[in-house]
Structure 1
Amino acid sequence: MRVDLFDFALPPELIALRPARPRDAARMLVVPGQAGFQDRVVRDLPSALRAGDVLVFNDTRVIPAQLEGTRGEARIGATLHKRIDLRRWQAFIRNGKRLREGDTIAFPADVAAAAEQRHPDGSWTLAFAGEEPVEVLLERAGRMPLPPYIAGKRPTDEADRSDYQTMFAVEDGAVAAPTAALHFTPDLLAALEHAGIGRETLTLHVGAGTFLPVKADDTADHAMHAEWGRIEPDTADRLNAVRANGGRVIAVGTTVLRLLESATGEDRIIRPFAGDTAIFITPGYTFRAIDGLMTNFHLPRSTLFMLVSALMGLDRMQQTYAHAIAEGYRFYSYGDSSLLLP
């Protein structure tokens, strides 16, 4: 499909630079499959779902994966996006033309990494020196990797270390937050449990590739970056039981949706999963695992807007985003939410 079909005009003042406080006070646009919209708030979620439904969350934890360093006189920026092994990460590099294979980049707090290999997409393999876990080094030298549409408007600060982390975050490895879950609070979880709505978790380590623009003119020519995920066998069993009993599986975020769809066969059975996924969902895709999606509002021409258009229909999502813009909903990672129920 032509990428320009997924374009829309977004007033820059609707890009949220800080999250709502409290988190569950964010607005939520409920979009049923049929015509009409419901303008609500996230804390209304228990009444927007049904007893027997289950929400699925991503328990990945964002690491401070953005580094600023030098190679000689050249300033080098690095955003780690995928672990290769204990010492090596794949990274997007700013000012990468100043690097050669074998160069050492010096980062703050005595952290150093060798530029080991340049990849065809312009990213590099960085091999970190020393014996400390890379995550420990990042806590000393790194910053939270805010999306470029926020970082370009204000500096990262101490508040982002908690704001850009969900309450479910336990598994280190993401370089971008699964932002749909940023809206949840203990009080909201208690209300959902009281309403008979279940909760499950899986892990998908979100990569910085989620922010990369689609540069191709046709979706068939766009290559997705792989991300690592895991679904435990007992989690898959419980999700299959929910659907067998008439409940709905509602993915909280596109990361959850992509991993569930990667783990599900044409028989609509969700299976255990551990490995990489580079699934790219565009209109025409047949969904197998999920019955609904809670997600923030995405960038024009992005793979995530293509995904929600596959779920709800492109015309329906263009109408949805036109309504959201007209009503002043806040967009992107720190923005408001939508509940899509095809």
Structure 2
Amino acid sequence: MYLFGVFDGHGGPWCSDAVGQSLFEYIAVSLHSPDELEPILRKEVYTSFDNDNTDIMSALESAFIKLDRDICTEAIPNAAEEMNEDLLHISTAGSCACVALVKDADLYIANCGDARAILGTIDDNGNPSVVSLSIDHNVRNENEVKRILSEHPSNESHSVIRSDRLLGLLMPFRAFGDIRLKWPINSLREYLQPYYKKGDAIPQFYFTPPYLTARPEITKHKLTKKDKFLVLATDGLWDLLSPEKVVELIFNHQKGIQSFDRFILNKTGTKKSSLKLKEISELLTARQQAIKNQPIDQNSATDLIRHALAFTSKGQFDSKLLSDVLTFPNPRSIRDDITVTIVYFDQDHIDQIDTKEKQTGK
């Protein structure tokens, strides 16, 4: 079983750092029953999770909700304690998260916010294709807008979403942290306001909290030999490149990086080659095309970021543009932060799993 994820913070890095450090552990715990956890975890830890969540989709949802609950409640001090400002920083900031769990040939995506997961595949004609595995939680998602409006009285229908933001403040409609959109009014006034330096800690039109949730939307996909790679990326990438362009760039980059390897005609190690002249010609043609498309970066994720930030409309790399974008005094005014993770699938392993499942009738 493998876990991958991208975490996009807002209002500071504190919440995304905490989520990135803890979420995988919460998922691991949620995938086990309390009986399994008892020998290795203290009672107060494992009993705080819900019942047996060994179903993967339930476990993912439980882990997201439990971690967010801990982030938002740990900032409230006990009667004998003073306010922990570090915990307050974490809970006041926020973070989106998009997590992938791979078990055998099953791929699960748990998404909370506006990071995104897509699959790079090959269609029946052998052409690159995109499969979207998540949906952004923002104003462009009609179902998400309907969900939020349905959770609050009708007299708040004009105030819940203003200027395309939740309560006029937050663009993603699901996120970890952001206690200003979750805590009761009395808690905001008592615990946050004395430390809040940006004005009133209670947002305008704050009547029926919580307005924000960290509950993820989960999808499941069965991997096949046509599925080549998974891309997890924050919204900073998708603001600049379409999913179709991202898949195209990765496929082209994979062809181009082959030119970095030394060309060996006979890879079997024998003195004679069984290749025919036509096959040799095809190999040389492919090699020539790879050299022609040789990229600057050997890492596909870095290549994507370079294209997003510094390629002109004519498809030409502009080094000055890249320098300007990266060194601009206020970079967030011209670009968002970008995090990209690319996961390549072992085709032989997927074939073995598929063959085994067919033989066992699963």
TM-score (norm 1): 0.29
TM-score (norm 2): 0.27
| Structure showing greater relative contact order (alpha-carbon pairs closer than 8 Å, 6 or more residues apart) | 1
More strand by proportion, 1 or 2?
1
More helix by proportion, 1 or 2?
2
Larger Rg: 2
